[in-house]
Amino acid sequence: MESTLDRFQLKEKVAIITGAARDLGFDAACALAEAGASVVITSRVLDKAEQAAKKIADRFGTEAIGLELDHTDWQKVQQVVNQTLEWKNRIDILINNAGGGSGMGECNLFKRDPKAIAALIESNLIGPILMCKAVGEIMIRQKSGKIINIASIAAMVGRDRDMYHRNNKNEQPIDYAAAKGGVISMTRDLAALMAPFGVCVNAISPGGFDKGELPKAFVQDYSQETMLGRMGKLDQDLNGIILFLASPASDYVTAQNIIVDGGFTFSK
């Protein structure tokens, strides 16, 4: 009989993780590789993708390749899917991680450049939809698969902008909230579309992670707004939920949005 721990194994599985050369995407790739998956690391910069893939292969003894991808470019998306199929002839897991960029440039809606609004929605919503379109078709053919879309708590709460302003940090623009809300809605409807083909589709909404670049005072202020009194930690706080949703352990879980925020969203 298969044990509970066996159901977290990913041997023979093939995963694509977008924007995985660093930070949360890299963590997600590590979690899958540690469980035995062969991983495709994508980045807009090929060299960075290849370096991250080598790091992962060396660390976990699994197979990993790096591919160049701008996930808003439909031709490039199709190319990466074809390259993955040439490599392993299947795709079991898609982690739609690429996106972010929420605090870049002028973020106040009333001063924000409309082009920046469109670009942010393109990389955080259109790109993930294109990835689901290309990879989803393969999964339907295989009659199995796991899609995990990285959303954000920005989709669920109005922000305390004062916390950002008093710590000299750019606030999150409302188009980021809109894009991530779209990711969660897309996840639910795609789950319904793909359930008859044995494909599970879920979202993860991280809260703020401290990647080492944030002002100390901001980290303190933000931490106080969480129930657990801290921001998320890299190489730790996202890994478990990624592995769960990517593995057979979660075969009866679909259309969900799992919030990983130390209790921020439901605090006060």
Ligand X SMILES: NC(=O)c1ccc[n+]([C@@H]2O[C@H](COP(=O)([O-])OP(=O)(O)OC[C@H]3O[C@@H](n4cnc5c(N)ncnc54)[C@H](O)[C@@H]3O)[C@@H](O)[C@H]2O)c1
User: d(Cα 249, Cα 151) in Å, to the nearest integer?
Assistant: 22
Number of residues that bind ligand X (CB under 6 A): 24
Known catalytic membership, residue 252: no
From residue 100 to residue 129, what is the string marking binding to ligand X with x (rule CB under 6 A)?
xx---------------------x---x--
In the complex, the smallest distance separating the C-beta of residue 69 from ligand X, rounded to whole angstroms, is 6
In the complex, the smallest distance separating the C-beta of residue 142 from ligand X, rounded to whole angstroms, is 25
In the complex, the smallest distance separating the C-beta of residue 35 from ligand X, rounded to whole angstroms, is 20
User: d(Cα 199, Cα 197) in Å, to the nearest integer?
Assistant: 6
Q: Is 72 in the site for ligand X (CB under 6 A)?
A: yes
From residue 200 to residue 239, what is the string marking binding to ligand X with x (rule CB under 6 A)?
------x-xx------------------------------
Q: Is 181 in the site for ligand X (CB under 6 A)?
A: no
Sign, Cα dihedral of 242, 243, 246, 249: negative
Query: Tokens representing 82?
Result: 């074809």
- Range 96-128 burial, b when 16+ CB lie within 10 A, else e: bbbbbebeeeebeeeebeeebbebbbebbbbbb
Q: Is 99 in the site for ligand X (CB under 6 A)?
A: yes
* Residues contacting 173, CB < 8 A, separation 6+: 102, 107, 108, 109, 112, 116, 117, 120
Q: Is 24 in the site for ligand X (CB under 6 A)?
A: yes
Q: With beta carbons less than 8 A apart as the criterion, state whether 13 and 62 touch.
A: no
Residues binding ligand X (CB under 6 A): 19, 21-25, 43-44, 69-72, 97-101, 123, 127, 150, 152, 206, 208-209
State the catalytic residues: 176
